[in-house]
Amino acid sequence: MSYKLENKVIVITGGARGIGFAIAETFAAQGSVLVLIDLNQEQVERSAQALVEKGCQAFGYAGNVTDSAGIEELFARIVEKHGAIDCLVNNAGVTRDNLLIRMKEEDWQLVLDINLKGSFICTQKAFKYMMKARSGCIINIASVIGIMGNAGQANYAASKGGLIAFTKSCAKEFASRGVRVNAVAPGFIETEMTATLPADVVAGYAKVIPLQKMGSPADIAKTCLFLASDDSSYITGQTIAVDGGLTMR
* Residues labelled as active-site residues: 156
We find the least distance from the C-beta atom of residue 173 to ligand NAI, in angstroms, to be 22
Report the distance separating Cα 237 and Cα 249, nearest Å: 18
Decide: residue 216, CB within 10 A, 0-12 exposed, 13-18 middle, 19+ buried.
middle
Please say which residue, 31 or 226, places its beta carbon nearer to ligand NAI: 226
We find the least distance from the C-beta atom of residue 220 to ligand NAI, in angstroms, to be 7
Find the DSSP H helices in the chain: 18-28, 41-52, 68-82, 105-111, 118-133, 145-148, 154-174, 192-195, 199-208, 217-228
Please say which residue, 110 or 131, places its beta carbon nearer to ligand NAI: 110
We find the least distance from the C-beta atom of residue 29 to ligand NAI, in angstroms, to be 19
We find the least distance from the C-beta atom of residue 93 to ligand NAI, in angstroms, to be 2
Angle (CA) 45 61 117, round 5°: 130
CB 241 within 8 A of CB 204: no
Please say which residue, 40 or 169, places its beta carbon nearer to ligand NAI: 40
We find the least distance from the C-beta atom of residue 238 to ligand NAI, in angstroms, to be 16
Strands 57-62 and 87-90, how do they pair? unpaired
Residues 186-205 as b/e (b if ≥16 CB within 10 A, e otherwise) read bbbbbbeebeeeeeeeeeeb
CB 65 within 8 A of CB 114: yes
Strands 179-186 and 87-90, how do they pair? unpaired
Please say which residue, 31 or 72, places its beta carbon nearer to ligand NAI: 72
Please say which residue, 21 or 127, places its beta carbon nearer to ligand NAI: 21
Query: What is the contact surface with ligand NAI in residues (CB under 6 A)?
Result: 13-14, 16-20, 38-39, 64-66, 91-94, 114, 118, 141, 143, 186, 188-189, 191-194
CB 27 within 8 A of CB 5: yes
